[in-house]
Amino acid sequence: MIRSLLRDDDLTAAEQAHVLARAAAFQRDPHHARPLAGPKAVAMIFDKQTLRTQVSFSAGIAELGGAAVMVDGALARIGERESIADVGRVLGRQVEAIVWRTYEQRRLEEMAHWSGVPVVNALTDEFHPCQLLADLLTVREEFGELAGRKVAFLGDGACNMGHSWLLAGALAGMDVRIAAPAAFAPAPEILERAAAIAAGTGGAVAHLEDPVAALEGVDVATTDTWVSMGKEDEAAERARIFGPYALDEAALAHAADHAIVLHCLPAYRGKEISAAVLDGPRSRVWDQAENRRHVQKAVLEFCVAGGLPVEAV
Ligand code: CP
């Protein structure tokens, strides 16, 4: 069976726990497993800007014994120069897996349909599942168990990070609070799906307009840029709308005393997060950025193997 990671809930709760455990093992010993030895090739396509994702996948694929093949999204112009279906069929004959950062989720789904190899979401407009696994690994390092931990995400609740926190946090049995203005609430179908997952894992999900209520007693406070890729012309308006949702020292005072701070980066100090918080003692953002490599190696291992190893099922 071909296993892709197109959105966070493509993994079951047990599979998510397995991937996180394998990521922790890769963190302890980066070279202990080489499922891409050969080397086997993995195509990486970026239709949007990147730093962390490109570097962490490239380094991780090398550590797995494989070879990363960069496909320049601006040259390939997938869906314009050539259909997604044709690109998928061509790439599937050349590589073991495809990692793609693109726009609409449906583009990724179409690639997965046609390529015949695992496809990994390296960020779409709707979801950022690799980032969420890195975030969960960071929380796991700090607190051990994820289940029952409270997290508040502040800002644009309709963005990929808000959606992925809902799904991945619910799978992990966490209490996920999205603090966002009504006009930037998470998509209702994602909130409903996350609530259904949470009902089975003991987690909880909620959208709150009040950032102080969302932050009350949380273990993890997190945010993301207010200006997602493609929204640059709305920057001034978004700064006005999201101002009350800034993660600064006054906001963080409502979190638990032991709370940690996450940010998927790039960060804009003085906008969605203050410099004092981002660079302060509670920040775990550099561990979080490193963890991208460990979790993505575990994802590639899982996908290339076609799912959980027999002994883990
Ligand atoms: N967090 C993240 O995905 O970083 P890049 O956009 O730099 O890849």
What is d(CA 273, CA 279) in angstroms, rounded to the nearest whole number? 10
Would the CB of 264 count as within 6 Å of ligand 1?
yes
* CA dihedral over 277, 282, 288, 290, signed as positive or negative: positive
Of 27, 131, 288, 296, the catalytic one is 131
51 lines ligand 1 (CB under 6 A): yes
**Is the Cβ atom of 267 under 6 angstroms away from ligand 1?**
no
Whole-angstrom CA distances from 264 to 65, 104, 107, 119, 160 are 27, 20, 23, 22, 11
pTM for this structure?
0.98
Mind listing the pLDDT tens digit of every residue in the chain (313 residues)? Answer: 999 999 999 999 999 999 999 999 999 999 999 999 999 999 999 999 999 999 999 999 999 999 999 999 999 999 999 999 999 999 999 999 999 999 999 999 999 999 999 999 999 999 999 999 999 999 999 999 999 999 999 999 999 999 999 999 999 999 999 999 999 999 999 999 999 999 999 999 999 999 999 999 999 999 999 998 788 899 999 999 999 999 999 999 999 999 999 999 999 999 999 999 999 999 999 999 999 999 999 999 999 999 998 787 7
Q: What is the dihedral of CA 83, 87, 88, 91, to 10 degrees?
A: 180
- Quick one: CA dihedral 130, 171, 244, 143, positive or negative? negative
**Amino acid identity, residue 34?**
R
Extract the tokens encoding 107.
């583009």
Q: How far is the CA of 302 from the centre of ligand 1 (A)?
A: 22
